Structure 1
Amino acid sequence: MVLRHRCFPLKCCCLVIAIFIALRPDTSTSQEFCIKDSDDTACKTENFFHKDEVVVLTVATDDNHGLERFLRSAKVYNIDVEVLGKGEEWSGGDMNFPGGGQKVILLKNRLEKLMKADNKEKIILFTDSYDVMFLGNLDEIVKKFKSFPDTRVLFSAEQFCWPDAKLATQYPNIEVVSPYLNSGGFIGYLPEIYEIINSNPIKDKDDDQLYYTKIYLDKDLRESLKITLDHKSEIFQNLNGALSDVQLRANTTEEWPYIENVVTKLRPLIVHGNGPVKNTLNHYGNYLAKSWSVNEGCVLCKEKKIQLKEDNLPSVMMAVFIEQATPFLEDFLDQVIDTDYPKNKIHLFIHNNVEYHENEVEKFFGAYSKEYASAKRINSGDFISEAEARNLAKERCINSACDYLFSVDSLSRLESNVLRYLLSSGYDVIAPMLTRPGKAWSNFWGALNSAGFYARSADYMDIVYGVIKGVWNVPFITNCYLLKMSLFRAPKAKAVTYVQEGHDSDMAFCASLRELNIFMYVSNEEDFGHLVNPETYDITKTHPDMYQLFENNMEWTTRYLHPEYLANFEEDRKHLMPCTDVYWFPLMSDRFCDEWIAIMEAYGKWSDGTNNDKRLESGYEAVPTRDIHMSQVGLERHWLQILKDYVRPLQELVFTGYYHNPPASIMNFVVRYRPDEQPSLRPHHDSSTYTINLALNTPNVDYEGGGCRFIRYNCSVRNTKKGWLLMHPGRLTHYHEGLLVTKGTRYIMISFVDP
């Protein structure tokens, strides 16, 4: 009994359904009813397909992330899947090459049992698992299948004739979008599929797709069994060869993202990342099967979230890798100490591959190693390569009681809660997204090119800049990530390695994971920190961190700007003015001053204090000092940036109405005053709109005497403050002199701004 598009008042609906179910014969025909309210003119069609009429089967001998994703997609669409071969040893060969006959044998054994049942009109839906996702429910799939005319078995189709391209000429219809059979998905009635399965003998390592292809190419079998291919991807969408035909629709007005075949204008119901395009399916999987949406955000993230129990926190190996000379390493080591996690739950592992950093690392290890559950250090003199060290940390964790490995490179700058977040995420392999501040450079790749190197995914920029938030399946992570070690204790996971010829350690590691279908994720749900940029870090310089103003401004500013600098701009701030129109501001930190002096003294080529100065274009200095120009030590560009970013805003506070951005200064130098060298400076005007004078050391501690006297106002500034800036007009009004230094050495940094 089949009732189609009959309209009933809503109050009669339940009775009609009950009668229908009682009278329904044993048939696979899906039933549709049109239900309407008594005062509605429109009629809603509802599908009451009975799921017992369909058996959904797959093969999966390994319990991996691909299977997990497949089963989740089935659950989302209320599809019950029976997994064949689970826990058995796979003997069907490497599926990157011809093979897979074991799938046919497992399916044959299951169908034999089904054939013994009375219902021979049962529908069988078979798909691969590791690289497949459901995108619709069984009602939609069966309804679409039954719309194919004169079809008892429908195979998915693809654009490549694989594994034997020579068979392409034997296909009956090659003028379609996808002309060739693909065995990763098919649907049909039990008797016909059973006959296909039993048509020819097959061995475990024979190719399953070749097996089905030969049956399809047999005209008599094709016609008698009514086998059809899904050329338009109405149900099955194979991605290999069709990436330009398939579009992910994520930012739509619809509730959930979907994929569309833009050639056929259809939305497939099952997607298969066959062949070499599994990374594309991984990308799609971030959105499909109700994993993420504009309105709901990351649904999958919420599903996987776990609650950490403070009385039973997992044991973690924190593996620290210093593999290249790293700016502001001291800050990195401080962050290791400040990690918000009990140190008695952390096993510390440090590999330092940089001799320059040995003293810092040794000092850190000596001071803090005893606070951890255990600690191991490998230094640069041990001559262990990065890849070997990373493998050693992994094996050390596998063979111990640690539950997770937290790998952190010295380029990472992390918030203290990152480890806790990653542990609670519920993901087995996950990285916090880290970027270079203001740049698109990050610790993950969104896609790979054909050679296995970086490619930009369509959503990469949206992820990096936080336009979309969530946890994203990606093909490559680096610098910082968490590994759940139970995953790596499995026998097959022994193949995971950081050593691979022609690849750096991280590329080798991620390639190993991809090969084993172990998914990697990156999260941008929160602000986890950032990456420092080591590209211009030159350890041959004195205090090389000082030169990182441009590449690593965040670290530079934190270390070198005066702690009270921002207080200069508080609304009720009263600016110190020790003499008329002479202002005093905190500008640079004590550490800046100490290192600035050390850089000058290490360079050591102070001018002789005479009027002859070859550094100047004229060769003549009217008011000579013992000094070093910033251009001599490679800091001219840096100092001009300091003038622009930090001095100019101060000038605009007090000399209102004068704006010049950026400030110009051709004379930027450190002056050294000593009793036995040049103890003072005669009265003079500066060739500037305004002059700045930064005290680099402390009076009555590092030297005695000194200071600056403004003659017109008979006002002197003697007890200058280390790191504080004197700012005064140049040229006409502020005729001044440098006061006598009677003991020690006084250092000041001078700029004549806007000459």
Structure 2
Amino acid sequence: MEYLKFCFVFSCWVKFAISVYSTETPQAPVPIPKERLLVLTVATEETDGFIRFKQSADYFNYTVKVLGMGEAWKGGDVGRSIGGGQKVRLLKEAMEGLADQEDLVVLSVDSYDLIFAGGPEEILRKFQQVNHKVLFAAEGLIWPDKRLADKYPSVRSGKRYLNSGGIIGYAPYINKIVTQWNLHDNDDDQLFYTKVYLDPLKRESLNMTLDHKCQIFQNLNGAADEVLLKFGTDRVRVRNTAYDSLPVVVHGNGNTKMYLNYLANYVPNAWNYEHGCSHCDDDLVDLSQLQDYPNVLVGVFIEQPTPFLPEFFQRLLTQDYPKDKLKVFVHNNEVYHEKHIQKFWEENRNVFNSFKVVGPEENLSQGEARNMGMDLCRKDTTCDYYFSIDSDVMLTNRQTLKLLIEQNRKIIGPLVTRHGKLWSNFWGALSLDGYYARSEDYVDIVQRKRMGVWNIPYMAHVYLVKGSSLRNELKERNYFVLEKLDPDMAFCRNAREMTSHREKDSPSPESFHMLRPPKGVFMYISNRHDFGRLISKANYNISHYNSDLWQIFENPVDWKEKYIHQNYTRIFTENVMEEPCPDVFWFPLFTEKACDELVEEMEHYGSWSGGRHEDKRITGGYETVPTDDIHMKQIGFDKEWLHFIREFISPVTLKVFSGYYTKGYAVMNFVVKYTPGRQSYLRPHHDSSTFTINVALNNKDTDFQGGGCRFHRYNCSIESPRKGWSFMHPGRLTHLHEGLPTTNGTRYIAVSFIDP
């Protein structure tokens, strides 16, 4: 016994010594040539997901063979229940001719919801390191039979359960697996592979294992929080933070399709910080090379009172696109806006190819109206594009329609945002209940720090849809009505998920009961250009005669564009200001539209004071130098007018009265009316202000004769005021002045005594 123990110890020592002192090193396995890797995938239709899969495969030069293209799908609704057996049957047929190629490695993957993040060399190297003949993708959730969970081999670390969306192995071994298939096309493929794998004898004889730590396959279902983007100089990778791995194949299985769409906006080379967007110029439509411009149906939707609607229509009119190629469909749900639409139609009735209005008397819901607009294009075979736009979209880019058509997407919208806010017309992600969630890149896209064309889960307000898609992938009716969702949410869900439906057009009774796979039409948002903005419809009070005047708070940019003189900013850059009398400054302030609407508002109110000394509107009830006027406060415009003073008068004050910082406060803000029959002039007086502004609201010689202002101390008169221009002059001490007689017509001016 002692002798045997000695022999055993001695032999162990010899083996150890040989291993330590031997100069020979183990031979690394010979790398498998990338030419010996064949990718097999099943796709019966060229969906957007399949096209994306092919693009990622082509980027890495994979050899791909597509199985089942053009064949009727009989594999069930795999997105919502068991099915997919057709994939196994097609793979079985394909492997019959490959079974004897012992050095061939077959990679079987899904295609509609899968992309490559690495190349053939990497995937083959990682497969060799596993040292098994067949490797299945793994995931942390078990499907479709949870009762099989206990039969899985336990793992110390990593994903435990098989996923059939990714399989890699040597051809003879893959063939031995799929030859066992003897079920139907609508039976479950994953259950089949699971049962093969869980058989201990088969698992041993076929040398199978799972990719427990996502070295090759990354299934996103149940693992989205493990994954983040890793930006490199040449391309972007997906990194699994749980196992510190860089998966080669990324699979958006289960309910992670939208998360895959997000990742694919970057992976493998769609966008990075070095070169920006790589695919934005792929497959562009060159409009200059077309014989004629495409026909576009423009659907305009006015579903609630909307500020600046006349300006909205003018921007539509100024789109740089042949108007004979545009048909316009308008759904107006607001009686208030009928006057605006009528005026636009009367002025432009012969501009467009056609102009159809459906008004509030039709009593259509939003969903019904939007379905109607889309159906008009769907049924018209000459309709190349359908452009849907809501009345709260201000397209400041005249090239918007052309730019969207050029991008050549089935559904694409221009990014529009609310001024000064992160509110936009798209969502970067969805919450579990299908509502808004902020994606990691949302803010950068909205602020255009990352510019490109982005696959997103939800859009609204404005988008372009190909007419051919409406007659094919999107041919079903009633897209805008779904459960209790808003119409835009219903449309987006129907487009991206494409709920499977019966093949009603099939003549075969058997195929009538077969379900097609989801289409998953991708929706894109482009922020490659500054397209425009969204205006706010909140707090829009239509009780005024000209309600847009009150929008200085809610929509300051549109208010400024409509009401502030186009040369106002030149006051500070080119010195357009004039000084007709000492310390009397004259500058452009209001547009003609602002002047007209302010006068209309006052006349609509109608209660002019009559120029009497007794005035209950002011403190003390007595006006020493009365005018025939209406106060801004009387029409509920005082708050807006004071804000206007702070925003547009205060900067001018600082320029002309150097060193004086106005409080921008005024008690007396009013519009004065001069007529020969009521009050034609104003006697000499000082204003109760530090300085005064006096804005001409109509035109001399056109609307009235006479008028003007005379400053006594300097014996200087200004007798030809310009409409929309303002005087600014000191009030209390130095500038005694009078209003010169209006001899004919009616003269209107807006006055403020600032810093009383």
- TM-score under structure 1 normalisation? 0.88
Does residue 131 of the first structure (1) align with residue 113 of the second (2)? yes
- Partner in structure 2 of residue 227 of structure 1: 208
Deviation at 1:50, TM superposition (A): 2.8
Alpha-carbon shift at residue 696 of structure 1 (Å)? 1.9
Pairwise CA distance, 1:526 = 1.3
SS in 2 for 1:548: helix
Select the residue among 515, 522, 526 that pairs with 2:525.
522
Q: Once the 2 structures are TM-superposed, how far is the Cα of residue 210 of structure 1 from its aligned partner?
A: 1.7
- TM-superposed CA distance for 1:218, in Å, is 2.1
Tell me whether 102-111 or 738-747 shows the greater mean CA deviation.
Answer: 738-747
RMSD: 2.4
Indicate the residue corresponding to 2:81 in structure 1. 97
In the alignment, does 2:439 pair up with 1:436?
A: no
CA contact 2:474–2:495 (8 Å) conserved in 1: no
Who is 1:61 aligned against? 44
- Residues 503 and 688 of structure 1: CA distance in aligned 2, closer, same or farther (over 3 Å): same
Deviations 1:128-157 (A, max 9, x none): 1111001111121111011114x2211111
Distance 1:675 1:341, change over 3 A: closer
Q: 2:559 aligns with which of 556, 560, 563?
A: 556
Which range moved further: 736-745 or 184-193? 736-745
1:462 offset after TM fit, Å?
0.7
Secondary structure (helix, strand or coil) at the match of 2:96 reads helix
Secondary structure at 2:255's aligned position in 1?
helix
Query: Are residues 1:325 and 2:305 paired?
Result: yes
Describe the SS at the equivalent of 1:275: coil
Q: How does 1:176-187 map to 2 (within 5 A)?
A: 176-187=157-168
- In structure 1, what is the Cα distance between the partners aligned to 2:127 and 2:618? 86
Question: In the superposition, relative to structure 1, how do residues 736 and 273 fare at CA in structure 2: closer, same or farther (>3 Å)?
Answer: same
Counterpart CA distance in 2 for 1:363 and 1:673 is 31
Worse-superposed segment, 271-280 or 172-181: 172-181
Pairing of 1:456-475 with structure 2 (within 5 A): 456-475=438-457
Counterpart-to-counterpart distance in 2, 1:312 and 1:746: 53
SS at match of 1:103: helix
Aligned to 2:633: 631
Aligned length: 704
Q: What residue number does 2:11 align with?
A: none
The offset of 1:740, in angstroms, is 4.3
Equivalent residue number for residue 390 of structure 1? 370
What corresponds to 1:452 in structure 2? 434
Deviations 1:361-384 (Å, cap 9, x if unpaired)? 233334434444444332332333
Q: Tell me, yes or no, if the aligned pair for 1:320 and 1:410 is still in contact at 8 Å.
A: yes
In 2, Cα distance between the equivalents of 1:377 and 1:262? 56
- Alpha-carbon distance in structure 1 between the residues aligned to 2:280 and 2:129: 37
Are the equivalent residues in 2 in contact too, given 1:495–1:512 (CA < 8 A)? no
Give the stretch that moved more between structures: 234-243 or 598-607.
598-607
Q: What amino acid is the match of 1:56?
A: V
Q: 1:479 aligns with which of 444, 461, 478?
A: 461
What is the match of residue 258 of structure 1?
A: 237
- Counterpart of 2:735? 734
Q: Which runs of 5+ in 1 are unaligned?
A: 1-28, 33-48
- Contact 2:610-2:678 within 8 A present in 1 as well: no
Distance 1:438 1:162 in 2: 47
Per-residue deviation, residues 452-502 of structure 1 (Å, max 9, x unmatched): 111111111111111111100001122221112222322674267112131
**Who is 1:363 aligned against?**
343
Q: 1:206 to 1:369 in 2, by over 3 A?
A: farther
Alignment of 1:101-500 (within 5 A): 101-115=85-99, 118-149=100-131, 151-199=132-180, 201-250=182-231, 252=232, 254-308=233-287, 309-399=289-379, 400-414=381-395, 415-490=397-472, 493-494=475-476, 497-500=479-482
One-letter code of the match for 1:594? D
User: What's the TM-score, normalizing by structure 2?
Assistant: 0.88
2:661 corresponds, among 653, 656, 659, to 659
Q: CA deviation at 1:709?
A: 3.4
Q: CA deviation at 1:181?
A: 1.1
State how far apart, in whole Å, the 2-side matches of 1:462 and 1:491 are. Answer: 32
Q: CA deviation at 1:679?
A: 4.4
Deviates more, 1:87-96 or 1:195-204: 195-204
Q: Shift of the alpha carbon at 1:277?
A: 1.0
User: Cα deviation per residue 1:673-714 (whole Å; 9 max; x = unaligned)?
Assistant: 445544444443322211111122334544455443333334
Do the aligned partners of residues 491 and 743 (structure 1) sit closer, same or farther apart at CA in structure 2, a change above 3 Å counting?
closer
**1:720-749 deviation digits (Å, cap 9, x = unpaired):** 332221111122222333444455443221
2:734 aligns to what SS in structure 1? coil
Distance 2:534 2:606 in 1: 34
Larger RCO, structure (CA 8 Å, separation 6 or more):
2
Q: Distance in 1 between matches of 2:166 and 2:466?
A: 32
Q: Counterpart of 2:652 in structure 1: which amino acid? A: L
Cα deviation digits, residues 194-220 of structure 1 (max 9, x gap):
232233532222221122222222222
- For structure 2, list consecutive stretches of 5 or more residues without a partner in the other structure: 1-27, 498-518
Do the aligned residues in 2 keep the contact of 1:159 with 1:241 (CA within 8 Å)? yes
Match of 2:281, SS? Answer: helix
What is residue 753 of structure 1 aligned with on the other side?
754
Secondary structure (helix, strand or coil) at the match of 2:465 reads: strand
Kindly report which structure 2 residues correspond to 1:694-713, keeping only aligned pairs within 5 A, or say none.
694-713=695-714
Tell whether the 8 Å contact from 1:348 to 1:369 is kept in structure 2 after alignment.
no
Cα 1:147/1:378, change in 2 over 3 Å: same
Q: Distance in 1 between matches of 2:694 and 2:635?
A: 19
- Determine what percentage of the aligned residue pairs are the same residue: 47
Tell whether the 8 Å contact from 1:496 to 1:512 is kept in structure 2 after alignment: no
Who is 1:12 aligned against? none
What is the alpha-carbon distance in structure 2 between the residues aligned to residue 241 and residue 368 of structure 1?
56
Stretch deviating more after TM superposition (467-476 or 332-341): 332-341
2:563 touches 2:594 (CA, 8 Å); kept in 1? yes
Q: Distance in 2 between matches of 1:691 and 1:105?
A: 87
In structure 2, distance between residues paired with 1:492 and 1:60: 19
For residues 481 and 259 of structure 1, what CA distance do their matches in structure 2 show? Answer: 30
| Aligned amino acid, residue 446 of structure 2 | V
Larger displacement relative to structure 2 (690-699 or 124-133): 690-699
CA 1:177/1:119 → structure 2, altered by over 3 Å: closer, same or farther?
closer
1:714–1:407 CA distance, 2 compared to 1 (3 A): same
Query: Which deviates the most, 347-356 or 612-621?
Result: 612-621
Distance 1:214 1:492, change over 3 A: farther
For residues 736 and 52 of structure 2, what CA distance do their matches in structure 1 show?
Answer: 78
1:531 maps to which of 530, 534, 554: 534
Deviation at 1:507, TM superposition (A): 1.1
Question: Partner of 1:494: helix, strand, or coil?
Answer: coil
Structure 2 partner of 1:74: 57
Matched residue SS, 2:52: helix
What is the CA–CA distance in structure 2 between the aligned matches of 1:244 and 1:478, rounded to whole Å?
28
| Partner amino acid, structure 1, of 2:640 | H
Q: What amino acid is the match of 2:88?
A: V
Q: Which amino acid aligns with 2:711?
A: F
Question: Would the aligned equivalents of 1:30 and 1:50 in 2 still touch at CA under 8 Å?
Answer: no
CA contact (8 A) 1:600 1:628 kept: yes
Q: Give 1:649's match in structure 2, choosing from 645, 648, 651.
A: 651
Distance 1:363-1:618 versus aligned 2 partners, 3 A rule:
closer
| 3-state SS of 2:667 partner | coil
